[in-house]
Structure 1
Amino acid sequence: MPTFQNPTADAAEASEALRGLAHATRVFEDPADTYAVLGDLLSGVRSLRQVLDQLATVHVSNQVRAYDDAGNQGAGASHALTAAADLRQAAALLDGVHDQVDAAMGVSGRIAWRPAPSTPAPARWVGIVFLQGQDADKVLAIIDRDGTDAAIEHLTGFDRGDETTQAALVNGYIYDEPPTGPLDRVIEQGGYVLTYNHDHGHVSLHRTHPEVRELDTPPAKAKTAAPPRARRTVPSVEEDEDWFVPSQASSPSRGRAL
């Protein structure tokens, strides 16, 4: 607490308070608090200017008591007057500081700060299906004939929702980013990502799932990426079967990579 009577003690406390303020203002949880801090700083600049003026006055009024180390009173008085002039110059410079801080405070006071935008949980990607060979050729033909939207619509037939997600968790087909090769074409639509490559003859579909980090899954199973050959492929089907409609007699995992 300031003494209001002991300049040495109050100067030491002011110095410590400024050190604390310099440390505390490295981070503001609420930017609206800057306005109050600017107001206190403006008051502090005014007080500091008054202190400098008063220090200059002390040097002038007590010049007859000033000596140098050799006992020369004339030299001591000269030093006192020089110090007083420097202090008054510093006080004058603080007028400019005061005006700038005052202007900054006025502009800052016109800001309507809003809460920080919430950061959504990072999405991860669930592998739905990976096709290669003849199965991929059929989807690639759909892409060439009807476009990628039609291909995505057909491949979403392999997505069984929570069942697919749980299978991906068990088998490790969960990715921070959909795995792609350097020559793959990537199309994103409606929470799905279609990846295909005519030259290499493969097609894959992934689905975003923000909640997947909260599901009960062994951490060791999660992977950030995997080459296409590391994923199971859909077995070939006979030509007279409807490739896009899962057979009722088939097991639930038929025709899916997961």
Structure 2
Amino acid sequence: MQLPTSYHPSNGRRSQPRSYVAAYLRRFLKPKQWDLEYTFWLMLQLCISPKTAYRHTAYHKQTKNQWARDDPAFIVVCCVLLAIASLAYCVVFGDSAWHAVLTVLSVVLVDFLLLGVAIATTCWVITNRFLRKRNLHHHQVEQHVEWLYAFDVHCNSYFPLFLLLYVLQFLLSPALLWRSFLSSALSNALYMIAFGVYHYMNFLGYSALPYLERTEVFLWPIGLMLLVLPFSVLSGFNPSIRALSFYFG
């Protein structure tokens, strides 16, 4: 699969050199070049001070002239953590080794990577087509959102969601899986917070780019979820039961 890089709405061309993307992909095979210390520091900042994490992104732009990370370590660590969490669920709720393999592959490849590619591409198109500042001063250079940066934003936003919906949900599963009003309300609140944090982190990621405007559109899904939340709770819908039923029947 060939991934887009950056986009010019005027001519549809890619401006980011393909050699950069090729070098980025090659680094997946060179673990010695991964900066794991920075990766774990970034994960910590995304939990306690996400604005600090994105301020560091601006420093990255100043030093390396690109917004996207040039290190795939964050993606690799996320995939490993997702695989471990999925295996923990399989040990408790699964029924066979083959089912566990399929579940882990589905969570890592589909839920995180393929869905992330779709979300990043959608945000990449929206930001470049509709959210870039048009009335620039004569000394300002027109800039475009890099596709790899859009995918970085997805990965950054997914990590807190992972902690809430994979780790915390697993720990609270005895309470969340009871068929009661309280369990349903608690599960809905957990999913609301998790996806609310995801969209808020998306907002922070794109608002960190000085050439974008109206980035508050990335907060709109939170408003929609707040409208739906009371109906979901009153109807007795339990997203934890529904999610685990999808994977484990």
TM-score (normalised: structure 2): 0.24
Which structure has more relative contact order (CA 8 Å, sep 6+)? It is: 2
Structure 1 or 2: more strand by fraction: 1
TM-score (normalised: structure 1): 0.24
